[in-house]
Amino acid sequence: MTRLLIKDALIIPMDDVERATPWIFGDIYIDGGVIGEIGVNLDDKYEDCEIIRGKDSVVLPGLVNCHTHAAMTLLRSYADDLPLMKWLSEKIWPREAHLTEKDIYWGTMLSVIEMIKSGTTCFADMYFYMDQVARAVDETGIRAVLSRGMVGTGDKAQFAIDESHEFVKKWHQKADGRITCMLGPHAPYTCPPDYLKEVMKLADQLGVGLHIHLAETASEVEDMGKLYGYTPIKLMESLGLFQNRQVLAAHCVHVSDEEIEILTRYKVGIAHNPESNMKLASGAAPVPKMLKAGALVGLGTDSAASNNNLDMLEEMRTCALLHKLISMDSTVLPAYQVLEMATKQGAKVLGLEKTGSLQPGYKADIIIMDFHKPHLIPLHDPVANIVYAAQSSDIKTVIIDGKVIMKDRQILTFDEEKILYEAQLCAQELVRK
């Protein structure tokens, strides 16, 4: 593996070191997919490295998308301006019934291009035909936490468990360790308690975590109360789902203070998806309360069918502005805290070690932003510029696991034009079925 040296850059490490500012100037040495050293004049110490010049650039950890359904890029802008359940039942689920393995592969490849070109180096995905998603991850070089979506009703409930079992056995910690597998029970309204208990048992057997949608809409909370006498969060606690397991809970919009305490106590990872929740009018999760309570909260885009993009820079800006507006407090969720949610906090939400931060011994998942742009000058505060002003087109270089995936906006590891062509064909065919 090529040794790299990022030279003379402004670096935002996102570590726990106390400094006068959250950024430093210097170099980053990368060897064997891992950050070896951060310092100054490292070219005097390390020879025979590929040099990446950092002039007029800002270097930071790759962004972590904590919740999406990647292949749904094929349904981008297909069904808009509808409430969640109508959107799902009348538009999305009927189209998904026609998806093929080929569709999932090219839809995921399309989403990976979009994520890499907007600075995402790791994503958490729940969908089906997950072998094709894993194949796309393997081929492109991105990092991912993958789970096969499981529905516990109907004649395919056991098949989903069996297929998930095989998927984990085949792909967990594969692709040079870039793939982590979880089990993906879709939600309490599609997975009854007895089914969830089977899923929990399998998760314990395989030693993997769980990825589940929880408390996304007010109607979900109301329906679960009528059906089981519990809210979704309290139902999961009553079943023991949170106990001694890595749990990734998507949304958690409609939660009480008591439920925030439950999520915090069990160290449940929460994926906040502000743009999708806004677009579907699902509501806004009480993120400032969650963070104040000490909960683990990261950011996700949800799918491009409900967002309608996978741009984590936009998600950060929306997150910050949304919660300032709701609270009527401009000091809520300052820029650095939001950037934490998109980097090191996001890695913790996914249960990933040695990612999300730039420090020796950590995986070299790094993005380099071109700050020689009119909308990023002057450079009073680079963190504020990233959260409030940056655009995806400012991402010029992406390094994942120590490998340069994109350099100067050019994808190096796969054929971007072929993917755009194939994905367009799949999408056109899908909506004609």
Alpha carbons within 13 A on the beta-carbon side of 143 = 31
Q: CATH number, domain at 27?
A: 2.30.40.10
319 & 336 share domain: yes
As for how many domains the chain has, the answer is: 2
87 & 41 share domain: no
Angle between helices 157-171 and 130-140 (to 10 degrees): 20
Q: CATH number, domain at 193?
A: 3.20.20.140
Domain's final residue, options 326, 349, 372: 349
Q: Say how far apart CA 370 and CA 398 lie, in whole Å.
A: 12
57 & 159 share domain: no
389 & 263 share domain: no
288 & 395 share domain: no
104 & 25 share domain: no
In a structure prediction context, what are the per-residue pLDDT tens digits for the chain, which is 433 residues long?
689 999 999 999 999 999 999 999 999 999 999 999 999 999 999 989 999 999 999 999 999 999 999 999 999 999 999 888 888 899 998 999 999 999 999 999 999 999 999 999 999 999 999 999 999 999 999 999 999 999 999 899 999 999 999 999 999 999 999 999 999 999 999 999 999 999 999 999 999 999 999 999 999 999 999 999 999 999 999 999 999 999 999 999 999 999 999 999 999 999 999 999 999 999 999 999 999 999 999 999 999 999 999 999 999 999 999 999 999 999 999 999 999 999 999 999 999 999 999 999 999 999 999 999 999 999 999 999 999 999 999 999 999 999 999 999 999 999 999 999 999 999 999 988 7
Residue 357: inside a domain, yes or no? no
Residue 230: inside a domain, yes or no? yes
Residue 324: inside a domain, yes or no? yes
Residue 42: inside a domain, yes or no? yes
Instruction: Report yes or no: 131 and 167 within 8 Å, Cβ to Cβ.
Output: yes
133 & 117 share domain: yes
250 & 186 share domain: yes
Domain's final residue, options 296, 325, 349: 349
> Could you give the angle at the alpha carbon of 324 between the alpha carbons of 320 and 327, nearest 5°?
140
333: tokens are 């969720």
Letter string b/e over residues 123-153, b meaning 16 or more CB atoms within 10 A of that residue's CB: bbbbbbbbbbbbbbbbebbbbbbbbbbbbbe
Residue type, 371: F
pLDDT digits (tens, 9 = 90+) for 72-131: 999 999 999 988 888 889 999 899 999 999 999 999 999 999 999 999 999 999 999 999
Residue 41: inside a domain, yes or no? yes
88 & 189 share domain: yes
160 & 210 share domain: yes
52 & 201 share domain: no
Q: Say how far apart CA 242 and CA 262 lie, in whole Å.
A: 9
pTM as predicted = 0.97
Instruction: Report yes or no: 120 and 63 within 8 Å, Cβ to Cβ.
Output: yes
Instruction: Report yes or no: 103 and 426 within 8 Å, Cβ to Cβ.
Output: yes
Domain's final residue, options 299, 323, 349: 349
- 3-state DSSP call for residue 278? helix
Backbone region of residue 356 per phi and psi (left: phi > 0; alpha: psi in -120 to 50; beta: other values): left
378: tokens are 């002057």
Residue 355: inside a domain, yes or no? no
* Residue 237: domain span: 63-349
306 & 265 share domain: yes
